[in-house]
Amino acid sequence: MKILHLNLSNGIAGDMILAALVSAGVPKKILEKFLEPLSRLGVDAPHAQFVRVEKSGLPALSVSVPGDFHFENPSHIARVIKKLTASRSSGGISAGTAAAARKTALGALDLLVSAESRAHKIHRSRVHFHELNSKDTLIDILGSAFALAYLAPDKIIATPVNIGRANPAALSILKTAGIPVYSDEPSRELATPTGAAILAAFSPSFENLPAVEVISFGGGAGSSVIPGRDNILRVIVGQTETHSPHFGRNNFSNTAPLQPVILVETNIDDMNPELYPSVQRRLIESGALDVWLENIIMKHGRPAVKLCCLARPADIERVSFFILKNTTSSGVRFVSYSRVSLPRRQSAVMKKYRLPDGKIRIKPERRFRRP
């Protein structure tokens, strides 16, 4: 399982989140490619500028948003987000990544508008504040949403938020989202409304970081200089311990990175065997990567079949529900693994695999045929 861990002991702000996620492995060129169409939507480039800095002797990444473009209202920002992410499947950006970024960004914007509406006791349609309608807000929200979609963690874990001197709008968002807070800096605001809204849209859990293999890490620096505080939001991207081997940097890892998969199993001793081919075919259609059957002996010497399938973490719920609904099984079990899968292209008759040494392997393609 891939985990993103956020250390919020120095508070949270939109620019800190964006810089931290980029620092942890989001290529700046890919982010720039994603934001590039904003210029055609009226928001001139450059959209975000990143600089390596040191805070209290610790390295971090800082982001600034040049220009002073202002939107008419938050609805205008929402329209821009929808247009930008409507159809993207080029330049290294998949349509799925763009869709995930859109959902997170619109969620964060909605939380922010609602909080400002409550704080100032006005209707949502009348929310119109200088900071909320700025270009900074759009880039912080949209950039952070894209960075999260690009990293694609299976789980997000965060520490409680150090809010410092409470900002009413930020506190309203954190309260509504049920996010735990504390303060050890009563003289300064450490949590901004934009940062709180982005965090709430990420829907993290608040628990200790389990044992993980560190994939990457980074830090996003805040703009303020706070005596006695480095003002860095730290992130770790890690993989939970699995049965997978550790490959050398120059062997499989560049060509075929490790991918998390879940093995789903169930024992069945009371189903008509003629139904298994149909179940296997439909499990593949439901998202399973592979499906197979094993003969087993259950208690009291009863012969049975173990139905096994591999699936991506995102497809587990759908695959499990299919098994419980379409077989006589009353429960399924799971085991987490990682796998190495060679990049491939496939047609109706052939599969082409690219090996780590650059050679191509060609194999016949065989799939379940519909009756």
DSSP bridge pairs for 333? 265
User: Are 21 and 138 contained in the same domain?
Assistant: yes
370 domain residue, yes or no: no
371 domain residue, yes or no: no
Q: Could you tell me if 297 and 304 are in contact, meaning their C-beta atoms sit under 8 angstroms apart?
A: yes
**CATH code, domain carrying 302:** 3.30.70.1380
pLDDT tens profile 89-132:
555 678 888 889 999 999 999 999 888 778 777 766 666 655 56
User: Are 212 and 269 contained in the same domain?
Assistant: no
230 domain residue, yes or no: yes
> Structure pTM?
0.66
Range of the domain at 353: 253-364
Higher pLDDT, 257 or 229: 229
User: Are 200 and 140 contained in the same domain?
Assistant: yes
356 domain residue, yes or no: yes
pLDDT tens profile 30-80:
999 999 888 888 888 888 999 999 988 899 999 998 877 777 777 888 888
pLDDT tens profile 169-200:
999 999 999 999 999 988 899 999 999 999 99
Residue by residue, DSSP assigns 45-63 as SP--EEEEEEETTEEEEEE
pLDDT band at residue 86 under the 50/70/90 scheme: confident
User: Are 205 and 144 contained in the same domain?
Assistant: yes
User: Are 134 and 158 contained in the same domain?
Assistant: yes
Give the residue ranges of DSSP H helices in the chain: 14-23, 28-35, 74-84, 95-120, 135-151, 168-177, 193-202, 252-255, 276-285, 316-326
Counted domains in the chain: 2
The residue out of 191, 219, 240 marking a domain boundary is 240
User: Are 107 and 136 contained in the same domain?
Assistant: yes
